A and B are shown apart, each in its own frame.
Chain A
Amino acid sequence: MAVELKMPALSPTMEEGTLAKWLVKEGDQVGPGDILAEIETDKATMEFEAIDEGTVGKILVPEGTENVAVGTVIALISGEGEDAAPAPASAPVSAPTTAEVHTAPAAAKPAAIQPKNDPEIPAGTNMATVTVREALRDGMAEEMRRDDRVFVMGEEVAEYQGAYKVTQGLLAEFGPKRVIDTPITEYGFAGIGAGAAMGGLRPIVEFMTFNFAMQAIDHIINSAAKTNYMSGGQMRCPIVFRGPNGAASRVGAQHSQNYGPWYASVPGLIVIAPYDASDAKGLMKAAIRSEDPVVFLENELVYGRSFELPELDDHVLPIGKARIMREGSDVTIVSYSIGVGLALEAADTLAAEGIEAEVIDLRTLRPLDKQAVLDSLAKTNRVVVAEEGWPTCSIASEIIAICMEDGFDNLDAPVMRVCNEDVPLPYAANLEKIALLNSASIIAAVKKVCYV
């Protein structure tokens, strides 16, 4: 049986090539590995090898022929009796051509899922006053009691009790097996954490700050976020990467960056950035229980702030649901993390001047609660986004795009964004202050969209 030798594709992008030289002639015996021909592509000259034993039959494309399309039959090889491999493709099967791809029916996007609402807090529930730091720790500790697979690893999380004391007390309760001090080696321990999640555990990986997670971002994105998809849903990576994010105080440019927009751009990740203690605890518990990889962005300046937190046995909040922090009818201020505090401050000042601002805390940056933004826009017709982070390609940019695409008819003014200045964060106290988001600039933006 004659096997058709076809012009091979020798690179991912090759469509045609030059058959530079035949190194065999008709009637030659060839074996696996023998070079049959040299083929020139736009990048290189490649050797084309025989796969099976056989005799070279007819050579159909002479050497020196240019622009030979991939798949063209260039020669026939007669096989070695019954033992010869069957022809590589009995019927001409070809990969879908570009044209076919372009005309392929577009897949229907799955309908947007309505995020779940926060559970009702039963009447008479006692409200405790706790710091965000304690709320985060309690959230982790409760989940560690509930599920043996949950453990914490990171720099200084155990004996030092956490660089920012978020893991205080965990070592005493859970021991060194479940509260693991790592060396200063972010790329390595992020990978070990992701691998442990793939192997069936529930790691919480603390980054001393998210600035250092840039060393580890490969594992967060390439290993944790993409594996479930690349494996066709076979291999999960249920892990929480957490730590402080954004500017702290006078620590300079390398230690002061908001990575919310970076992670929120990646399909396969959940990104949470809570503001108050109740959300910190309720969303931390949800993050640990999630089957998906979660990036949990905290804020150093908020750790020590106290808030009311309902004393419930199991305070778990829904991922993907924004929260109206303050109702208002004149303008919507959308924010998250530390920006929420500034937005609330601005709203109080504005109220004294007769402008009622609605403040929305996004809480989860991915998946983003679009509907909460659009509903508020429909009510107030004006939106300002307040973000402690750079303006370019920010969460603010995303909110503006959503308002344009899906809320255009409800807009009475352009959506404004109020962010940090577009510079690396300076050290000098006065410069740092000017560079960061503040309530005065939020107030100014609100007045602008309200035309007052």
Chain B
Amino acid sequence: MAKPARTRKVAAKPTAASTDPDFALHSLQADHEANRKFAASDDQLLEFYEQMLLIRRFEEKAGQLYGLGLIGGFCHLYIGQEAVAVGLQSALKEGLDSVITGYRDHGHMLAYGIDPKVIMAELTGRQAGISKGKGGSMHMFSTEHKFYGGHGIVGAQVALGGGLALAHKYKEDGGLCLAYFGDGAANQGQVYETFNMAALWNLPIVFVIENNGYAMGTAVKRSSAETEFYRRGTAFRIPGMDVNGMDVLEVRAAAEIAFAHVREGKGPVLMELNTYRYRGHSMSDPAKYRSREEVQEQRDHNDPIERLKKELAERGRSEADIKAIDKAIRARVAEAADFAENSPEPEPAELYTDVLVESY
């Protein structure tokens, strides 16, 4: 079960971790705790709501299409975790910063403004899919949006993200890389190899551990000796942040602090986003490792979309407005599903294209 966000009193100001003899793991956490909520404008609030709802409805539809046999293979849904991708990605500089993640990638792509139609068409394996139907749920990319995947090997995206950050630094373009991984991937060796080099070379990278409580079906306390994941960079002098990933405004506020630190050339930051996935690990997950009540508890009392809906109401958004948004998003998702169902499959000749870029 997602651990509650902790509060603690720490006094340290952000400093370059690698040179400061008084390096403190909690240096950024103190700033975060001093200013937990992002002061969103009404428009921003509405945008966050729409983006999160789009992810929710999209994923529900993907689940349905899977049940109908239109989506095959592995399909990992992001339902419950929406505030993480939306809160973080809303703070990025579009067209400059790069993003990379693992196989639970639909939500990150939608949060980046990538057309739901081409994502859904990829899930159904169609020519119009973002990877021409050759990648599937776990392997989607949009170099145009600087979204670098969509990687199926647990933890690989962390090292690749280190490379994207190296490229930002090499080109001196001022960009940073946001590299997402789960509490499961956090136990992979290459993650720590990357932490080491990222800190050693002062790379502009934000490591984001989406701790949804379970590595597939294994609860964090059954797989991890240190379950406070934000501490996992301590050995490499990487400051950690412990963030409530179920509140988009808290996520966004934390992102501002982390990104500023990295952009100032102070090296990597490790953020732990405490979140929860309502659905199984993948579509074929019997969910016997947790209770129905645990899931319901999160849905009823900690849902990021319901939380924001309340906030919108408090700011005077009418019920009718919110219904209208919901309706528009349902229509958009239905349109994406129709497109994905009715687009043609790839031509057989596509089998042989894109193996290599050049001809030899």
Contacts and interface: CB of A to CB of B under 8 A. Distances in A.
A231 B141 contact: yes
28 contacts: A8-B67, A11-B284, A43-B284, A71-B69, A83-B323, A83-B326, A83-B330, A93-B68, A104-B348, A107-B349, A107-B351, A108-B348, A185-B196, A188-B190, A191-B162, A191-B163, A192-B159, A194-B160, A195-B164, A201-B171, A219-B156, A232-B131, A232-B135, A234-B143, A235-B149, A291-B358, A318-B360, A367-B360
Nearest to A5: B67
Contacts of A219: 156, 159-160
A182 interface: yes
A10 B190 contact: no
Contacts of A71: 68-69
B194 A192 contact: yes
B250 to A, nearest CB: 24
Interface of B: 60-61, 63-70, 72-74, 98, 100, 129-135, 139-143, 148-153, 156, 158-168, 170-171, 189-190, 193-194, 196-197, 200-201, 278, 283-284, 286-288, 292, 296, 299, 323, 326-327, 330, 334, 337, 341-342, 345, 347-360
Nearest to A108: B349
Interface string A356-382: 000000001001000000000000000
Given A12-B74, A196-B166, A199-B166, A188 B160 contact: no
A268 interface: yes
Identify which of B60, B61, B74, B201 gathers the most chain A CB atoms within 10 Å of its CB. Answer: B60
Contact of B69 (A9, A185, A319): A9
Interface string A33-61: 10100000001111100010000000000
Contact of B334 (A85, A200, A228, A235): A85
A9 B67 CA distance: 5
Given A12-B284, A190-B159, A228 B149 contact: no
A96 B334 CA distance: 22
B68 A88 contact: yes
Given A10-B284, A193-B163, A199-B168, A105 B68 contact: no
B130 A232 contact: yes
B69 A95 contact: yes
A32 B60 contact: yes
Given A192-B166, A218-B153, A107 B348 contact: yes
Given A191-B190, A222-B156, A318-B360, A231 B163 contact: no
Contact of B163 (A45, A196, A319): A196
A290 B196 contact: no
A64 interface: no
Nearest to A40: B286
Interface residues of A, number: 85
Contacts of B60: 32, 51
B352 A191 contact: no
Interface stretch (A109-117, A295-303, A308-316): A109-117
Interface of A: 6, 8-12, 14, 32-33, 35, 43-47, 51, 70-71, 83, 85-86, 88-89, 93-96, 104-110, 113, 115-116, 151, 177, 180, 182-183, 185, 187-201, 203, 218-219, 222-223, 227-236, 238, 267-268, 270, 290-292, 318-320, 364, 367
Contact of A233 (B98, B139, B153, B354): B354
A292 B357 contact: yes
A125 B292 CA distance: 79
A12 B200 CA distance: 43
Contacts of B347: 107
A234 B134 CA distance: 11
Contact of B167 (A46, A116, A195): A195
B171 A183 contact: no
A391 B160 CA distance: 35
A64 B148 CA distance: 47
A94 to B, nearest CB: 6
Given A51-B64, A189-B193, 6 more contacts: A104-B348, A109-B352, A187-B189, A223-B156, A230-B131, A267-B355
Contacts of A44: 286, 288
A8 B196 contact: no
Contacts of B131: 230-232, 234
Contacts of B143: 231, 234-235
A113 B148 CA distance: 31
A195 B166 contact: yes
A408 B161 CA distance: 49
Nearest to A153: B166
Nearest to A185: B193
A188 B152 CA distance: 17
A192 B197 contact: yes
A96 B345 contact: yes
A183 B200 CA distance: 10
B327 to A, nearest CB: 6
Nearest to A190: B159
B151 A223 contact: yes
Identify which of B160, B292, B296, B350 gathers the most chain A CB atoms within 10 Å of its CB. Answer: B160
B264 to A, nearest CB: 20
Contacts of B153: 218, 222-223
A251 B353 CA distance: 42
A67 to B, nearest CB: 16
Contacts of A106: 348
Contacts of A233: 132, 353-354, 357
A229 B189 CA distance: 27
Contacts of B63: 51
Contacts of B358: 290-292
Nearest to A15: B69
B127 to A, nearest CB: 9
A229 B162 CA distance: 22
